[in-house]
Chain A
Amino acid sequence: MSTDQSVPTREVAQRVFAAEFNDASYTFKESDDDRAPVYALLPTGEQANRVFFVGTLTETDDVGDDNEYWQGRIVDPTGTFFVYAGQYQPEAASTLRELEPPAYVAVVGKPRTYETDDGSITVSVRPESITTVDAATRDRWVAETAERTLDRIDAFDDEANEYARMAREEYGEDLSAHRETVVEALDSLDDDSGGALDDTTEPSDDKPQA
């Protein structure tokens, strides 16, 4: 990936549907350094240190004991992303506190995994930012994520694709389920019957356009 460049490069935000993201339970580091970034391994063969997604916030809940700890459920055409924001993500936490679901939101965040008492691993997102957006942005994300996911599926059999090799070992090589999710997501766009807010005709936003 990024070679020996003098300026450290920012990690790209992967585009991944909830269905695939929630399966990405295997995490790894590229070096032994304590502070080395942690990557989630996507089943379609890519590393993810950051994700960007847009969906419908359907529910918020303060699940903290002493301190506020906000959980948000964000739905895309394939499943539900769980985001958690506490005192160390004050802006995201206050967004979750203040937002009235349902609402379209865009999230930039880091994948996190958590092992439950019964030994299963859940995958969630620690948000860097959560902002409300419009339906057009959400539709664009769905189309873009379909495209990126298909790109990853296409590159899965490349000899040089080390993350595909890892994914094959960790999750198996059958990608048909992920391919199907892409088709479903595209279908939901085409017949425009997907999201919870589809009947609200969005005003084209009050921001001036270029």
Chain B
Amino acid sequence: MSELQTHAAEIAAQFSDHTDVDADEIEQRLDQLVSEYKVPVDEARRSVTNNLLDEADMDREELGRGGSEEVLVDEIDQDEQWVDVTVNVVDLWEPRSDSISQVGLVGDASGRTKFVAFETSELDELAEGASYKLTNVVTDEYQGDFSIKLNRTTTITELDEEVEVGDSTTTVDGALVDVQSGSGLIKRCPEDGCTRVLQNGRCSEHGEVDGEFDLRIKAVLDDGQEVHDVIFNREATEELTGIELEDAKQQAKDALDTSVVADGIRTDILGRYYRVTGPTLGRYVLANEFERLESPTDTAAIRATAGVDQ
């Protein structure tokens, strides 16, 4: 297929849901612009597309982006791609802005991803636990994390059978080389659905609030080749350290300082080896399961791989 034929086929695909266009005719129009009038291909493509939109009396927004292909959420690795996904709504969150109608997590067999729908798109609402085919959604990227945005052209088709959400868990192991600030006894914002961690009694969203105590550990596992950020929630922290939330509160009360809790945790876990398994959220692995690694790796195997004899 020549370059122009490829472009023509793509344009035809974009219009195929809306009007009856012929790829050959599009190719002729492109060829005229490119060969006769020496217009660059990109510009020619733009011009032909706009003409077709005019002729069909359509808005650009209504146009499929052609390349809109069915993907698994785990395959999304580029910004601003038009894709179709078949997903289950795992979780709906409270929108933090009036312009957002819905925000939450959707998932398929490959894992989960965040989705956002905007008020202006005037879409039907998604229901938690229901499964949908979403066509024409746009991928988005923020600090290396990908999400999808629904838009006015997105079609939502509810499915009868449930899409199974795969578990995008990973397992990491290594020496626990750092317990980061924000670990130990912390306070969270009590506002509905907020749970932000307070800094000096203040929530970044709700200002000064009467926080609720919680326990967590943000730690770094390092195997000498890679580093992984891991988070132990309250339950995991209690299991890891043997310190219950009530003990931690008492410790802080006795010392008139919450930092004693984190100090004690550091003493208990820094420098030991752990294996942690759980879902990934951004750059963090959430420690759903963990174990302490206490025996050395097989020294005979190390000798063998290195060709060093006993």
B-binding residues in A (CB < 8 A): 5-7, 9-15, 50, 52, 54, 91, 105-108, 128-129, 131-134, 136-137, 139-148, 150, 153-154, 179, 182-183, 186, 189-190, 204-205, 207-210
Contact = CB atoms under 8 A, between A and B. Distances in A.
A129 B294 CA distance: 20
6 contacts: A7-B283, A50-B177, A129-B270, A143-B302, A145-B224, A186-B302
Interface residues of B, number: 41
A183 B294 contact: no
Contacts of B193: none
B299 A108 contact: no
Contacts of A52: 175, 177, 222, 224, 271
A24 B290 CA distance: 35
Given A140-B293, A143-B299, A186-B302, A148 B266 contact: no
Nearest to B242: A208
B271 A54 contact: yes
A206 B226 CA distance: 29
Contact of A140 (B144, B226, B297): B297
A105 B302 contact: no
B279 to A, nearest CB: 17
B233 to A, nearest CB: 14
Contacts of B97: none
Contacts of B270: 106, 108, 129, 131
A105 B291 contact: no
B271 A186 contact: no
Given A13-B175, A52-B175, 5 more contacts: A106-B270, A132-B267, A139-B296, A189-B296, A205-B292
A183 B303 CA distance: 8
B158 interface: no
B185 to A, nearest CB: 18
Given A106-B270, A108-B270, A137-B271, A150 B239 contact: no
Interface string B223-263: 11111000000000001111000000000000000000000
A12 B225 contact: yes
Interface in B258-310: 266-268, 270-273, 283, 289-299, 302-303, 305-306, 308, 310
A62 B241 CA distance: 32
B271 A183 contact: no
A104 to B, nearest CB: 9
Contacts of A154: 306
Nearest to A5: B144
A142 B224 contact: no
Given A129-B266, A207-B241, A10 B220 contact: yes
B2 interface: no
A210 B308 contact: no
B214 interface: no
B143 interface: yes
B302 A146 contact: yes
B162 interface: no
A183 B299 CA distance: 10
B178 interface: yes
8 closest residue pairs by CB, A with B: A106-B271, A143-B296, A136-B294, A150-B306, A15-B224, A131-B271, A210-B291, A131-B270
A137 B294 contact: yes
B144 A183 contact: no
A10 B227 contact: yes
B175 A106 contact: yes
A140 B294 contact: yes
